[in-house]
Structure 1
Amino acid sequence: MDERAAMELIERARAETSRRASALARQWDEIVAASQFTSGDDEHDPEGATIAFERAQVQALLRQAQDELVALGQAAERVLAGVYEVCERCGGPISEGRLTALPATRICIACANRR
């Protein structure tokens, strides 16, 4: 994969992840705003556990999206350094198909399967 194609792939993934992160941030804000009108007593509130679970789930998904944006930035740096298609564990090649599916990946499929 040439540098231009790799950067386009990463940019598409970054745009999609940014949209997801923005939507999750809005959802988080809505949950927080809605919880201002509840008693805050999760133990006795039949909706309390659901609200707490929903808040934790959205927070985890938002953190995952933010981490993915960081990883995509690092992937762009690897493209510029000429090592985007090189596995960080074994030094072998990372297939184009794997990079297309996971633009921020740092390891080849063989190393991923060794976990």
Structure 2
Amino acid sequence: MTRDDARLRRLLEMERQRLKEEISHYEVAARGYNPGLGNHMADDGTEAFEQAAALTLNESHKRTLVEVERALSRMSAGTYGFCERCGDPIDFARLKALPYAAMCFRCQARTEQ
């Protein structure tokens, strides 16, 4: 493993830990949520909106955590840093910006179109 690989592994592990903490925080907060107990309908509406936003963010964190775990698995398997679609190396700048990237920029752009 090169020094850059070690740095990317550290980034992935830090991101995994951050995501797990965020997900855990949300789950603890969600247990204490009691909709409809406010003093005013507007308060209840605000709470419902905030709950929906938090739920969406939590689901996003869970999806990202899956991607981070997959990247760590690819790292262990020796396939990390190569595009899952075309097999070409993923640019190091892309991996620094998005360490769990599974595709090169060109394939990712094609997938999103």
Q: TM-score, normalised by structure 2?
A: 0.79
**Structure 2 gap segments, 5+ residues each:** none
Once the 2 structures are TM-superposed, how far is the Cα of residue 36 of structure 1 from its aligned partner? 6.1
Aligned pair 1:37/2:33, yes or no?
no
Which residue matches 1:82? 78
Deviation above 6 Å: which 4+ runs of structure 1? none
Find the aligned partners of 1:100 and 1:27 in 2 and give their Cα distance.
32
Percent identity, aligned pairs only? 31
Moved more, 20-29 or 47-56: 20-29
Which residue matches 2:20? 18
What is the identity, as a one-letter code, of the residue corresponding to 1:85?
G
RMSD: 2.3
Which residue matches 1:69? 65
Aligned length: 109
**Structure 1 gap segments, 5+ residues each:** none
